[in-house]
């Protein structure tokens, strides 16, 4: 079948593509529509649902959006960062407490770490404490995982940590926040060889164009297995750690597939009822330069030997690779163990930058099927000329919230799957 | 949460009818109807339909986007390939985000192969579901075709929508006689008078079950229990109406839940022995241990994969099955289910 004469009726990046996802609302967030990968939903005591969003870059820190009526989202608060050499990027909410990550553009810049906020009155978040992760070799905290109200698991640097390669500054840290005013580190783990003084030799770098660092990204711990941390370690692949003794995390298994692939393991999502791990990459280069960035399915029946058995069907290269900006996998909805989060061990929703947000049916792990997608048209003033969906969150109503990395803001979708 | 087995699949309407029944006229009408926005229309030959150049938006060898928003596509090799490619093009943004499909049957216009394709091609069934069979019957020649062509009877029997064409050219009493005959043949179909192809496409879509959570009204409509089929005519078979003695149309109701083995064995048996005479079966079945009714659909020997609905829509949990058969009487089917049930007890 021949293609329609270019440009086809929907081949243009400004054109929306949709299957089984319907747009309920779009909010540009007062002109600050560039969002990172922190999305969490709070159920307030007065019955509202507030979606908290971390911004991709300065000047904004985070925004709270009332999404009680998903067709009529309203910004209730938008906060600023102290200076432009930092970003928040990541946040999580438990009850009325929110953890917000702070990463800096270089080492030795403050503040770098995370804040805890009391958001019981969403319109006026009050800072409870600051956990300092700045240092002479640290860029602070990139991502936080905070789902039980007691512990913040994070990817970040530390004042006392000197990496063997400056790109490897962020590792896995466990911080006890049971006393929210006094967060305290209780454990850490880093890729062997990435800290000066390690017995192990420094790991072999990926080719220069793909060398993004041996550092932690998502550090997920679920109540089903409180003694396990599921860690995407960027160029170091996927790791499962035994954290039964939190002061001494120990590797249970790891899976390294780069090279031949191009690194940047982002998320390791266990599907406990299925004995599966879903592992997502992050695309970090424009125009398909680091293609393919995939979502992988691993058989995890023997947890010391996770075996890759397939990948999610990727969006078509021809349609998206040169459409503008990044093209490929990034964040997944992570089945957060909180009441406001949708949880499914058979349908996985993820964002793919210019290929939009997509839902997959993994009920047959050997033959994953795409079941829905939504690719918004290029937002107004988009610097890359295409949408760049960065993160997604699915709430307990099954509504999909997804955000653009640069300018598009928040998109609220209904799924029909 | 798991995937809904019915939701999120693009509905397909199959348009069938004998040569000369007015299919081309209907297709021409659809190509200009505003209700066809975002519909894909798969036809056999573009030249036959003839598209006015004023209506073209974008065109290629095989696909044409019309000014009413309808994507017209011709079959190249076979329907499977065409539908698969059509979805691939949709996914790549190379064609519009069509949300329903109309397919013209080919050749002898036997709808069974198309229905078989949709029921059995696992790749296609990820994206599409059969929604409606619309059969055109020519008011001038329809009666003769029903007399002489078993295929015409089958086409009428499998229809969800019976489109009467050329009613303006036939005598009013002949039209009535034809309607009465078709009504006796297929009491569950909705009649639509389609003079000069004038049909609202909305009547040809959203007929099947859209998800596994249908409400009671939709289920009843789907099973033909609401008298929708009498919408236009509303009359019962009057004495003296010509009918097809071989064609039996009946509904069976079973009070007790079935064991799955019993039900599937009975249906399998009748399908193996008399598949060609099993023109159409559809129903809701109470299978012991299932959370909701099991949806059964078949055309001849082609059974769609069964789907269990999320819940019973009302307190009435009896199994209800509608049959249109050729020379298989109601009693035979009833006894068969009873006998297999007894064997399996």
End-to-end CA distance of chain B: 35
In chain B, alpha helices (H)? 23-32, 46-49, 79-91, 112-120, 122-125, 142-148, 150-157, 172-185, 216-222, 260-274, 330-343
Instruction: Check if B122 contacts A (Cβ < 8 Å).
Output: no
Among chain A residues, CA nearest to B67: A9
CB A50 within 8 A of CB A121: no
B233 pLDDT more than 90: no
Instruction: Give the pLDDT score at B177.
Output: 94
Strands B307-308 and B319-326: unpaired
Among chain A residues, CA nearest to B77: A1
Residue A191 preceded by cis peptide, ω within 30: no
Q: What is the mean pLDDT of residues A227-233?
A: 98
Residue with tokens 């007691």: A150
How far is the alpha carbon of A415 from chain B, nearest alpha carbon, in Å? Answer: 9
How far is the alpha carbon of B59 from chain A, nearest alpha carbon, in Å? Answer: 7
Share of chain B above pLDDT 70, in %: 91
Which pair of tokens denotes residue B43?
A: 């036809």
pTM here is 0.92
Angle at A141 between CA A135 and CA A143, to 5 degrees: 165
Share of chain A above pLDDT 90, in %: 96
CB-CB neighbors (< 8 A) of A5 in chain B: 58-60
For residue A207, the tally of other CB atoms under 10 A from its CB is 10
Residue A82 CB-half CA count within 13 A: 8
* Residue pLDDT, tens place only, B29-79: 999 999 999 999 999 877 777 776 666 666 676 788 988 999 999 887 789
Distance CA B49, CA B42 (A): 12
H-run or E-run covering B59 = strand B56-59
How far is the alpha carbon of A400 from chain B, nearest alpha carbon, in Å? Answer: 14
* Residue pLDDT, tens place only, B124-141: 999 999 999 999 999 999
When pLDDT is cut at 50, 70 and 90, the band that residue A69 belongs to is: very high
Instruction: Check if B231 contacts A (Cβ < 8 Å).
Output: no
Instruction: Give the pLDDT score at A384.
Output: 94
CB-CB neighbors (< 8 A) of B124 in chain A: none
- Residues contacting A295, CB < 8 A, separation 6+: A278, A279, A280, A281, A311, A312, A329, A332, A348, A350, A360
Which pair of tokens denotes residue A303?
A: 């947890």
CB B83 within 8 A of CB B101: yes
For residue A217, the tally of other CB atoms under 10 A from its CB is 25
CB A341 within 8 A of CB A403: no
Longest dimension (CA), chain A: 64
Residue B38 CB-half CA count within 13 A: 11
Q: Which of A343, A369, A398 sits opposite B126 (nearest CB)?
A: A369
Q: State whether A2 and B7 contact (CB < 8 Å).
A: no
Query: Bridge partners of B202?
Result: none
Superfamily of domain B216-344: CobW-like, C-terminal domain (3.30.1220.10)
Q: Number of CB pairs < 8 Å for A and B?
A: 91
A240 pLDDT more than 90: yes
Which pair of tokens denotes residue A4?
A: 């329609």
What's phi and psi for B82, nearest 5 deg?
Answer: -65, -45
How far is the alpha carbon of A15 from chain B, nearest alpha carbon, in Å? Answer: 8
How far is the alpha carbon of B126 from chain A, nearest alpha carbon, in Å? Answer: 8
CB-CB neighbors (< 8 A) of B90 in chain A: 17, 19
Instruction: Give the pLDDT score at A6.
Output: 44
- pLDDT, chain A, mean: 96
Instruction: Check if B88 contacts A (Cβ < 8 Å).
Output: yes
Instruction: Give the pLDDT score at A268.
Output: 98
Q: State whether A371 and B93 contact (CB < 8 Å).
A: no
Most confident of A216-225, B16-25, B254-263, B325-334: A216-225
A231 pLDDT more than 60: yes
B219 pLDDT more than 80: yes
DSSP string covering A262-288, please? ---EEEEEEEGGGTEEEEEE---SBTT
DSSP A234: B
DSSP string covering A189-227, please? E--TTSBTT-SSPPPPPPPGGG---S----EE--TTSTT
Q: Which CATH architecture has domain B10-204?
A: 3-Layer(aba) Sandwich (3.40)
Angle at A50 between CA A44 and CA A53, to 5 degrees: 140
What's phi and psi for A29, nearest 5 deg?
Answer: 55, 50
Q: What is the mean pLDDT of residues A263-272?
A: 98
In this predicted model, which residue has the larger pLDDT, A279 or A2?
A279
Domain boundaries, chain B: 10-204, 216-344
Q: State whether B1 and A369 contact (CB < 8 Å).
A: no
Instruction: Give the pLDDT score at B227.
Output: 52
- Residues contacting B15, CB < 8 A, separation 6+: B23, B26, B27, B102, B103, B104, B105, B134, B136, B204
H-run or E-run covering A320 = helix A317-320
Distance CA B139, CA B165 (A): 6
Angle at B211 between CA B207 and CA B215, to 5 degrees: 75
Instruction: Give the pLDDT score at B285.
Output: 95
* Residue pLDDT, tens place only, B263-312: 999 999 999 999 889 988 999 999 999 999 999 998 888 888 889 999 99
When pLDDT is cut at 50, 70 and 90, the band that residue A401 belongs to is: very high
* Residue pLDDT, tens place only, A99-117: 999 999 999 999 999 999 9
* Residue pLDDT, tens place only, A22-61: 999 999 999 999 999 999 999 999 999 999 999 999 999 9
CB B296 within 8 A of CB B322: no
Instruction: Give the pLDDT score at B198.
Output: 92
Instruction: Check if A23 contacts B (Cβ < 8 Å).
Output: no
Q: State whether B7 and A417 contact (CB < 8 Å).
A: yes
Which of A36-45, A159-168, B111-120, B248-257 bottoms out in mean pLDDT, i.e. has the lowest?
B111-120
Q: Indicate left, alpha or beta for A280 from its phi (over 0: left) and psi (-120 to 50: alpha).
A: beta
- pLDDT, chain B, mean: 87
Q: What is the mean pLDDT of residues A330-354?
A: 98
CB-CB neighbors (< 8 A) of B96 in chain A: 9-10
Distance CA B96, CA B74 (A): 16
When pLDDT is cut at 50, 70 and 90, the band that residue A119 belongs to is: very high
- Residues contacting A330, CB < 8 A, separation 6+: A37, A266, A280, A281, A282, A283, A293, A350, A351, A352, A353, A389, A390, A391
Which pair of tokens denotes residue A103?
A: 């990463």
Distance CA A229, CA A136 (A): 27
């Amino acid at each position: 079948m021949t293609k329609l004469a270019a440009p086809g009726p929907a081949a243009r990046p400004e054109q929306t593509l949709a299957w089984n996802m319907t747009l309920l609302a779009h909010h540009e967030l007062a002109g600050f529509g560039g969002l990172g990968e922190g999305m969490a939903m709070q159920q307030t005591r007065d019955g509202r649902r507030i979606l908290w969003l971390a911004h991709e870059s300065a000047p904004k820190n985070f925004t709270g959006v009332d999404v009680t009526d998903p067709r009529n989202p309203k910004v209730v608060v938008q906060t600023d960062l102290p200076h432009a050499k930092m970003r928040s990027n990541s946040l999580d909410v438990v009850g009325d407490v929110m953890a917000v990550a702070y990463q800096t553009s270089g080492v030795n810049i403050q503040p770098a770490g995370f804040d805890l906020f009391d958001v019981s009155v969403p319109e006026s978040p009050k800072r409870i404490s600051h956990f300092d992760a700045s240092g002479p070799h640290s860029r602070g905290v990139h991502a936080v995982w905070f789902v039980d109200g007691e512990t913040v698991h994070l990817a970040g640097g530390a004042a006392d940590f000197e990496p063997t390669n400056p790109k490897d500054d962020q590792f896995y840290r466990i911080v006890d926040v049971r006393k929210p005013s006094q967060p305290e580190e209780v454990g850490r783990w880093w890729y062997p060889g990435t800290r000066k003084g390690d017995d192990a030799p420094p790991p072999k770098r990926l080719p220069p164009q793909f060398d993004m660092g041996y550092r932690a990204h998502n550090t997920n711990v679920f109540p089903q297995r409180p003694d396990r941390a599921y860690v995407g370690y960027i160029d170091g692949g996927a790791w499962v750690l035994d954290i039964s003794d939190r002061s001494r995390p120990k590797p249970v298994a790891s899976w390294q597939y780069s090279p031949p692939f191009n690194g940047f393991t982002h998320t390791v999502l266990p599907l406990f009822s299925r004995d599966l791990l879903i592992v997502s990459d992050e695309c970090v280069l424009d125009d398909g330069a680091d293609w393919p960035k995939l979502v992988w399915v691993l058989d995890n029946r023997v947890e010391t030997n996770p075996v890759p058995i397939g990948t999610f069907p990727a969006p078509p290269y021809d349609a998206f690779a040169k459409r503008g900006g990044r093209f490929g996998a990034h964040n997944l909805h992570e089945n957060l163990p909180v009441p406001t989060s949708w949880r499914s061990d058979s349908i996985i929703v993820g964002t793919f930058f210019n290929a939009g947000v997509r839902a997959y049916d993994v009920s047959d792990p050997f033959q994953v099927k795409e079941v829905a997608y939504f690719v918004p048209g290029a937002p107004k003033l988009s610097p890359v000329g295409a949408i760049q969906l960065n993160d997604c969150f699915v709430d307990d109503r099954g509504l999909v919230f997804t955000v653009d990395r640069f300018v598009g803001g928040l998109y609220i979708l209904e799924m029909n799957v | 949460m798991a995937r809904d087995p019915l939701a999120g699949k693009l509905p397909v309407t199959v348009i069938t009818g004998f040569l000369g029944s007015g299919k081309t006229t209907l297709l021409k009408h659809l190509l200009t109807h505003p209700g066809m926005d975002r519909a894909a229309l798969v036809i056999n030959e573009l030249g036959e339909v003839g598209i006015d150049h004023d209506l073209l938006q974008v065109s290629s060898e095989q696909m044409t986007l019309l000014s009413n928003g309808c994507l017209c596509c011709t079959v190249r090799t076979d329907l499977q390939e065409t539908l698969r490619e059509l979805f691939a093009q949709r996914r790549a943004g190379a064609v519009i985000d069509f949300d329903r499909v109309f397919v013209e049957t080919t050749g002898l216009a036997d709808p069974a192969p198309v229905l078989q394709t949709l029921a059995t091609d696992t790749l296609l069934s990820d994206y599409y579901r059969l929604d409606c069979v619309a059969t055109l019957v020519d008011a001038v020649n329809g009666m003769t075709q029903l007399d002489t062509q078993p295929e015409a009877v089958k086409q009428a029997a499998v229809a969800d929508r019976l489109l009467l064409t050329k009613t303006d050219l036939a005598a009013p009493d002949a039209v009535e006689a034809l309607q009465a005959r078709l009504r006796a043949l297929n009491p569950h179909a909705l009649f639509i008078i389609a003079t000069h192809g004038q049909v609202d496409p909305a009547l040809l879509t959203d007929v099947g079950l859209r998800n596994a959570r249908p409400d009671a009204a939709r289920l009843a409509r789907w099973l033909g229990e609401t008298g929708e089929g009498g919408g236009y005519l509303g009359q019962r078979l009057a004495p003296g109406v010509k009918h097809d003695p071989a064609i039996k149309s009946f509904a069976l109701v079973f009070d007790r839940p079935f064991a799955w083995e019993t039900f599937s064995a009975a249906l399998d048996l009748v399908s193996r022995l008399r598949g060609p005479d099993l023109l159409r079966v559809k129903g809701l079945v109470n299978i012991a241990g299932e959370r909701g009714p099991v949806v059964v659909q078949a055309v001849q020997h082609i059974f769609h994969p069964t789907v269990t609905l999320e819940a019973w829509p009302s307190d009435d949990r009896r199994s209800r099955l509608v049959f249109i058969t050729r020379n298989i009487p109601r009693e035979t089917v009833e006894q068969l289910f009873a006998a297999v049930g007894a064997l399996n007890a």
